[in-house]
Structure 1
Amino acid sequence: MVDDHPIVRAGIVDFLSQENDIRVVGEAADAAGALEMVRAQRLNVLMLDLDLPGRSGLDMITMLRSKAPDMAVLIFTGYPAERYAVKLLQQGAKAYLQKTCELAELLAAIRSLGAGRRHLSPGIAELLALQFDPQARQPHAGLTDRELQVLLKLARGVRTEKIADHLALSVKTVSTYRSRLLSKLELGSNNDLTYYALKHQLLE
């Protein structure tokens, strides 16, 4: 399990340890720890939060799959499914659960992934289906992962300099992403980006 909140890890690990057919073999609090854990042992399922120190879970999916192609990644996060689920499933994650899900669904997801299957809740299945309906697709569905990350930070009012620092980009590059976002979404200002994100429930 990879999550930077010790209380969350402890609670989930304690819950899972009560199941006879599930064994937690490792924990990590950041991206570096997750990669080390994957290198050190063979894992059937990796529970991965998206908001991690050092490197976001969004950036790690491809890297993790390259190091452990047979390992199933279960995204377990507080972010709404509308924001990242489809992109992460397309990148190779096998399940996407929000931390508000029922414990029974978490168990079902882990068991499905452990048996080599995907786990798609009805809501996630609907989001995937919408990808094949051009009229139903939202404008932000065509954004790249990095564009979406910049959009969400700008929508929260984060300054360009801080975005650049957090994403390890130059200020000029962030400004370029901003211009691209305004063009793709047909918006005119940062306030418009905030309104757009709120309207489409992209912010927590």
Structure 2
Amino acid sequence: MIRVAIVDDHAIVRAGLRQYLSEQVDLRVTGEAANGREALELLRGGEVDVLVMDLSMPEHGGVDALSAIKARVPELPVLILSGFPEAHYATTLLRQGASGYLNKECDPEDILTAIRTVARGRRYITPAVAELLAEGLSGDSDKLPHELLSERELQVFLRLAKGETVSAMADSMCLSVKTVSTYRSRVLEKMKLASNSELTYYALKNGLIQ
């Protein structure tokens, strides 16, 4: 029996997934959470074999949550089920520890296959993601600027793009204001942008925030 936890800020999505997964004899939903913070609380119980998680969530979104989860439970498979197309986040999150990435428009059967695959300790790679990974082997020249950011830089970039202040980020990420400011400077330099508003425009233009 594979124990699955669902992390999504939409109750209707969690209910639909729970119903669908409960119809499978080898799967059991053992927990639900509406954001990354609640997901971390769930994991304290230890009753989870696979975490199925959305990316776009308030209060500790998927990118931040993945980092925190892998730091606490590095061996836990995390399957990202997102409304964002694979091209926007898949390769970056796979590099940062996700076991698989699916777009919410996928065939429901793909979700079952993905859960069973990552539960066996393997990665689940769709043909679209495999193509993106293959393209990435050609080097950094074809990558978009945000794909060159480190895990922490990506977190800071997305928070800045959503309008979060440096001081608020420092509090929530348990970092000093100086450290966050340094990350902000690195992000702007790597992405060749000049201001937070340009970061926001870039994120919206590339479909990285809604």
* TM-score normalised by L of structure 1: 0.78
Distance change in 2, residues 1:165/1:116 (3 Å): closer
- Corresponding residue of 2:201: 195
How far has the Cα of 1:33 moved from its partner?
4.9
Q: Give per-residue Cα distances to partners, 1:168-187, cap 9 Å, x unaligned.
A: 43433332222212211222
Deviates more, 1:28-37 or 1:7-16: 28-37
* Contact kept in structure 2, 1:81 and 1:124, CA below 8 Å: yes
Match of 1:136 in 2: 142
Cα RMSD of the aligned pairs, angstroms, is 2.9
**Cα displacement (A) at 1:137:** 1.8
Structure 1, gaps ≥5 residues long: none
User: Contact 1:82/1:201 (CA < 8 Å) preserved in 2?
Assistant: no
Does 1:57 find its partner at 2:58?
no
Q: Extract unaligned runs of 5+ from structure 2.
A: none
Partner residue in 2 for 1:100:
105
What are the equivalent positions in structure 2 for 1:4-153 lying under 5 Å apart? 4-31=9-36, 33-35=38-40, 37-41=42-46, 43-50=48-55, 51=57, 53=59, 56-66=64-74, 69=75, 71-134=76-139, 135-153=141-159
SS of match in other structure, 2:28: coil
Q: Which moved more, 1:131-140 or 1:32-41?
A: 32-41
Q: CA deviation at 1:110?
A: 1.6
| Contact residue 6 and residue 29 of structure 2 kept, 8 A | no
SS at match of 1:164: helix
Sort the Cα spacing of 1:190 and 1:53 in 2 relative to 1 into closer, same or farther, 3 A: closer
Give the Cα separation in 1 of the matches to 2:23 and 2:189: 51
**In the alignment, is residue 179 of structure 1 matched against residue 185 of structure 2?**
yes
Paired with 1:139 and 1:7, the residues of 2 have a C-alpha distance of 35
Deviation at 1:143, TM superposition (A): 0.8
Structure 1 residues 159, 53: closer, same or farther in 2, change over 3 A?
Answer: closer
Give secondary structure in 2 for the equivalent of 1:23: strand
Equivalent position SS for 1:101: coil
User: Could you list the per-position Cα deviations for residues 72-129 of structure 1 after superposition, in whole angstroms to 9, with x for gaps in the alignment?
Assistant: 2212234443443223222332211233333222122123223443221122212222
Please tell me the residue identity of whatever aligns with 2:70. T
Q: How far did 1:148 drift?
A: 1.4
Matches of 2:105 and 2:42 in 1, distance apart? 26
Count of residues paired in the alignment: 201
Identity between Structure 1 and Structure 2 (%)? 47
What is the identity, as a one-letter code, of the residue corresponding to 2:119?
G
CA change 1:75–1:175 in 2 (3 A) is same
